[in-house]
Chains A and B, each alone.
Chain A
Amino acid sequence: MIRFEKVTKYYKNNVGLENVSVHINKGDFVFLVGPSGAGKSTFIKLILKEIEADSGSILVNEKEVTSLSNRQIPILRRSIGIVFQDFRLLPKKTVFENVAFAMEIIHKSPRTIRRQVPQILSLVGIANKASKYPDELSAGEQQRVAIARAIVNNPTVLIADEPTGNLDPDTAWEIMKLLEQINLRGTTIVMVTHAKDIVDRMNKRVIVIDKGKIVRDNVGAYGIDVFETPSCQPEGGVFSQDVK
């Protein structure tokens, strides 16, 4: 499903990832944790081919990402859904339009769009908000819209970058339940998070990255002890910089 084989990525003066090998199976639910600057964003950007690896092999759905041409990148991204900490909804579009937008981009017919958007909205639990604008929704509802947009094209992988970072604990937990439900439908989920309580409570596979290396990879708790720095404040989010 997602396989990194000795992947290394250096920036000018920084280590992004160094000789990372990891395998995420189809249907897995994986937490990606680690301190700021550990290489989590780098990991995700490599999956999406936003950046190029210096060496190593990256397989996503059995396809070698590192050798994809620019033309093939959109095809790769259509098989991956993404959710951000700050939702990234388009403010001038309604909930329906925000989700429909993702389908229009891959040339789905208006008929298909009219049929599938309500289905996906009811799956994420906001069927009654279709005609609302993002600023009329609570934070939790906005994240549900973002999730609907991410999964409406049936991606095999859903990447969630601190999806609960802007939510209060109860709402955060509801979103986690939703993600778990999506995972049960067969979608692989990779979630970057700093929320220790959530990781502990979910009891899923946890990959800990530090200084560009995987320092732990097992099912269980967050394991704060592996970090030298106790400060794990939420950061700006993986995609806070614009796509170059």
Chain B
Amino acid sequence: MSLASIFSISAMLLILGLFFIVAVNINMATEAAKQDYETVQVYLQDEVTFEEAQVLIDSFKRIEGVSETQYLDKETALLQWKAKWGESGYLLDSLGNNPLPNSILITVSQLEAADQVVLKAGKAQGIEDVKYYKETVEKLLKITNFIQIGALIIMVFLIIVAVVVVSNTIKLTVFARSREITMMKYVGATNWFIRGPFLVEGMLIGIFSALISVGIIALTYSKISELIGQDVFIILSTPMVPVSFMTINLISIFLAVGISIGACGSIISMRRFLDT
């Protein structure tokens, strides 16, 4: 009976969790990218020597609007990442081989110069990839916005469904005890006194659902970051948000949402009963 409620709240929380994870990860990548958006990072192929790199640097320096250039070898780059991620830096230890390439960092004072740099890098030899964050940042911001709005709409819908399911479940218990409730009212019990046990039932349903869904998400997420964490790091230059951070945040959010849904459901289920 209350299994249906637990199932429905859990399903809702799982979807909420999915949105949360995606949003947090995108957000993190966006934030990271934002800081560097006036920089163009040119990744060099492994064969390119330091001297060849200097030639490339000189050619970039000649572009008007380029204010600074810097050669960044892969070891320094990794150290920088570790510093940047502070406490979570240990995550990078698990990467084994340093996946970062040598690169040239070009800081521009005018944004048009960045386009020039990208153009030039495209033609030059020995260049693996060009990271130009402005577009990425804008794209990410758009995606984040879209996901947030979409998630909000779906969440509202799912919360309503969950509240309805819970209130129907509890209504069954309420009907089963209607004699007792009627008697309680005649003897002068306050509405909150009568609601008490049903409220507790609703909130317990919420707590169970929260724990179940946090468990599922923590397991799945740690598996996923184990499997693709390294790829994500290489592609986005951002580690995935750590499992522990995710779990701690989700558990408080899920408990709050689960308990609220349970409580609302039980209050709604008794509304007609307690009218007079």
Contact = CB atoms under 8 A, between A and B. Distances in A.
B62 to A, nearest CB: 81
Contact of A49 (B179, B182, B184, B276): B276
Given A50-B276, A243-B276, A244-B275, A75 B188 contact: yes
A90 interface: yes
A78 B188 contact: yes
Contact residues on B (Cβ < 8 Å of other chain), bracket: 10 to 19
Given A51-B276, A244-B276, A77 B185 contact: yes
A75 B184 CA distance: 12
A78 B187 contact: yes
A155 to B, nearest CB: 9
Contact of B183 (A48, A88, A153): A88
Interface in B49-90: none
From A70, A242, A243, name the one whose CB has the most chain B CB atoms within 10 angstroms.
Answer: A243
A101 B180 CA distance: 10
Interface residues of A, number: 25
A105 B188 contact: yes
Contact of A242 (B182, B187, B190): B182
Nearest to B189: A105
B186 interface: yes
A76 B189 CA distance: 11
B193 interface: yes
A102 B183 CA distance: 9
Given A49-B276, A105-B193, A243-B276, A74 B188 contact: yes
Interface string A173-185: 0000000000000
A76 B190 CA distance: 11
Given A242-B178, A243-B185, A74 B276 contact: no
B179 to A, nearest CB: 7
A82 interface: yes
B27 to A, nearest CB: 46
A144 B219 CA distance: 60
Nearest to A159: B186
Contacts of A71: 190
A9 interface: no
A243 B189 CA distance: 14
Given A242-B178, A243-B182, A153 B187 contact: yes
Given A78-B188, A82-B186, 19 more contacts: A49-B276, A51-B276, A70-B191, A74-B185, A77-B187, A78-B187, A88-B179, A88-B183, A90-B180, A101-B187, A105-B184, A105-B187, A105-B188, A105-B193, A149-B187, A242-B178, A243-B185, A243-B186, A244-B276
By Cβ-Cβ distance, the 10 closest A-B pairs, closest first, are A78-B188, A77-B188, A105-B189, A74-B188, A102-B187, A74-B190, A82-B186, A244-B276, A243-B182, A105-B187
